[in-house]
Structure 1
Amino acid sequence: MSWARPRALRPGDLLGICAPAGAVDLGRLRRGMERLEQMGFRVKVGDAVAKRHIYTAGTVEERLADLQGLFADDEVAGVICARGGAGAGWLLPRLDLDLLRGHFKPFIGYSDVTCLHLVFNALELVTFHGPMVAWEFALGAFDERSWNAALQGGAAPYASEPGDLVCLRDGEAEGRLLGGCLSILAAAAGTRWPLRPDKEGTILFIEDVDEKPHKVDRMLLQLRSSGAFDGIRGLVFGDMKGCNPPASADFTLEDVIRESLSELDIPIALGLSSGHVNGPNVTLPLGVRARLLCHGEETRFEIVEASVE
């Protein structure tokens, strides 16, 4: 059964910008807004985006008001985060789920924003793990084709290119794409907002940045032990930027992943560039069907259904 998909974004649409987590560099924010305007969008910035409270963009109440205000505003066609950081988890128990469901629209972000993806995805609403305004849009470091395919419906659904991915375990699988930032997924285990695999099968996407290999192993173990991997048919990692062991080590990150997931008889790949990445940031629609084929050098990930109406 298909999840609810939002209306496709179109040139001229108004995009709302919020900062549910960390404080925002305003210079980068301006550059990112200019890039969105060059793409034909209008922008509306939440009141808390320019604020600072300790390490977040305003207080919990201010950030919550921004997020929900942009959803409640029917002129706003989509909501995109300025950045990740830390602090989005504080919003979760205060969210008005009826409001978010009743004014459903594209929601885009990654990193700490994974907290919010978990909430939307639990409601069976498609969201988008992708570039943010004060980072990739400011730097011109986003993959335009996957953005257009996922959010504007203007191209065939995203598929990786030959050589993009490294096969860690052979196999083929299809299921609903879910996931996000590993440290946030692990932190959500045991809360009211955990990763909930689809009962009909899930392709799990996991990425993170600057986590030591033993911490990657520990978080994978936590997810596995909490039941978050029940029903997982395939697993694809992001770039895992900065997660490799030092050059002096006699093991690799790939060795750690294989060992940590040795009890899972599923295809596993590494190198899907969404989130914290080494190159252009790919936009992934969470909640749609995806396919993972791992056969040595012929390894491929692809979205197999439209993500917008």
Structure 2
Amino acid sequence: MQNRQFIYPNKVQVGEKIAILSPSAGLPEIFPAVYELGLKHLREEFKLVPVEYPTTRKMGSTPKDRARDIMAAFADPEIKAVICSIGGDDQIKVLKYLDPEVLRAHPKPFLGYSDATNLHFYLWNLGIVSYYGGAIMTQFGRYYAMDEYTVHSLRHALFQGGEYEITPTPEWSDESYNWNDPDTLSLRVPMFANTGWQWHNAERIVEGTAWGGCLEIIDYHLRAHRYLQPLEHYKGCILFLEASEEMPDAEYVYRVLMGMGERGMLQQFSALLMGRPKAWNFDNQLSSEEKETYKLEQKEAVIKAIEEYAPSLLAVFNLDFGHTDPQFMLPSGGHLRIDGIARKITMTY
């Protein structure tokens, strides 16, 4: 619904307090050095004051306890934004313990991605803009250095607001640091030249409200059907999708989109922004040739679903958000403008 109004939370000021939460996995307990480095960069690069909560450094916290920390952070007037330490795989269990009235009364910038898709959906349903990206242990806790492309986008999301034209990063990586091997943490992961975005059905201009996140978490919600809105709420919105480090195969990607299509949901969107596929992890270290095959098969699966369910849908592939590095922050609930003629994308932060 293009006429639906979303609230942009107030921006943060230098020196203010920021809640650091673990609404999913409490990995700061297992990898404290990586987490502490992320906090150091938050303090030194952004001049912000991190505030932790009881479950921030605790693995195995109950969903109810994690929800309690979320509510406390949003309700505290001294806390000006909320950033996830990292993702996980069960944040959907937290949502039933949240109080929507407290969140609606105290909108704040929320940053995170992957499993944080759950909280992005919850805030979207309340009409609150949030920012997909920027976890403490991955983007802030980068050992070699924080990537300037990421830092620039984070500054817009946290401090500046306004319209922001995103551009392809000059180089990128889908390979990761081994947090279990301290000797490698000061090295730079392999970086690859960016060949640019890929456009499909692009010869027009589309504007709309952003909705989306991690494909696997969207699959959770298609199955649970507890936090999805009536179809008309997505009419004219711009869908953004990316897959996690679990590297789902092309058939799975297609099936999720097929589920959206059979539900009548995929057809509601005016455009699709597809994040660059992560084609490498420690358990599945693909060669360069295997990576290209994996990425091509994923793109073909997406286009297959588009052609079956939404054949006129404008789509852009290989964008720099999600599980590859660096990343821009994508405003969930924010206004996007995709100019397929000029090959430009502008987001309102």
TM-score normalised to structure 1 length: 0.89
1:125 and 2:128 correspond? yes
| Contact in 1 for aligned 2:242/2:322 (Cα 8 Å) | yes
In structure 2, the partner of 1:237 is 274
Percent identical residues: 24
| Contact in 2 for aligned 1:161/1:300 (Cα 8 Å) | no
Of 154, 161, 176, which residue of structure 1 is paired with 2:209?
176
| Contact in 2 for aligned 1:185/1:223 (Cα 8 Å) | no
Matches of residues 136-147 of structure 1 in structure 2 within 5 Å? 136-139=139-142, 140-141=146-147, 143-147=150-154
Matches of residues 1-309 of structure 1 in structure 2 within 5 Å? 1=3, 2-24=5-27, 25-38=31-44, 39-53=46-60, 58-139=61-142, 140-141=146-147, 143-153=150-160, 156-161=163-168, 164-172=196-204, 173-189=206-222, 190-194=224-228, 198=233, 201-209=236-244, 210-242=247-279, 246=290, 252-263=297-308, 264=310, 265-277=312-324, 279-294=325-340, 299-303=343-347, 305=348, 307=349
Distance 1:126 1:247, change over 3 A: closer
User: Where does structure 2 lack aligned partners over 5 or more consecutive residues?
Assistant: 170-194, 281-285
Bigger Cα displacement from structure 2, 231-240 vs 150-159: 150-159
Equivalent residue letter for 1:170: A
Distance 1:208 1:7, change over 3 A: same
Distance 1:271 1:249, change over 3 A: closer
Q: Deviations over 1:125-177 (max 9, x none)?
A: 10110110111100024612222222211675242249631113323311111
Separation of aligned partners in 1, 2:72 and 2:153:
28
Equivalent residue letter for 2:314: P
SS at match of 1:174: strand
Question: What's the C-alpha RMSD, in Å, of the aligned pairs?
Answer: 2.4
User: Where does structure 1 lack aligned partners over 5 or more consecutive residues?
Assistant: none
| Contact in 2 for aligned 1:203/1:291 (Cα 8 Å) | no
Bigger Cα displacement from structure 2, 136-145 vs 155-164: 155-164
Structure 1 residue 46: Cα displacement: 1.3
Equivalent residue letter for 2:152: R
Separation of aligned partners in 2, 1:154 and 1:228:
30
Separation of aligned partners in 2, 1:26 and 1:113:
20
Structure 1 residue 216: Cα displacement: 0.7
Q: Deviations over 1:169-189 (max 9, x none)?
A: 323311111111011112102
TM-score normalised to structure 2 length: 0.79
| Contact in 1 for aligned 2:168/2:320 (Cα 8 Å) | no
| Contact in 1 for aligned 2:336/2:345 (Cα 8 Å) | yes
Separation of aligned partners in 2, 1:238 and 1:247:
15
Distance 1:247 1:32, change over 3 A: closer
Q: Deviations over 1:271-306 (max 9, x none)?
A: 1211211x31211111121122335xx533221x3x
Separation of aligned partners in 1, 2:279 and 2:229:
24
| Contact in 2 for aligned 1:22/1:84 (Cα 8 Å) | yes
| Contact in 2 for aligned 1:175/1:200 (Cα 8 Å) | no
Separation of aligned partners in 2, 1:134 and 1:249:
29
Separation of aligned partners in 1, 2:122 and 2:212:
12
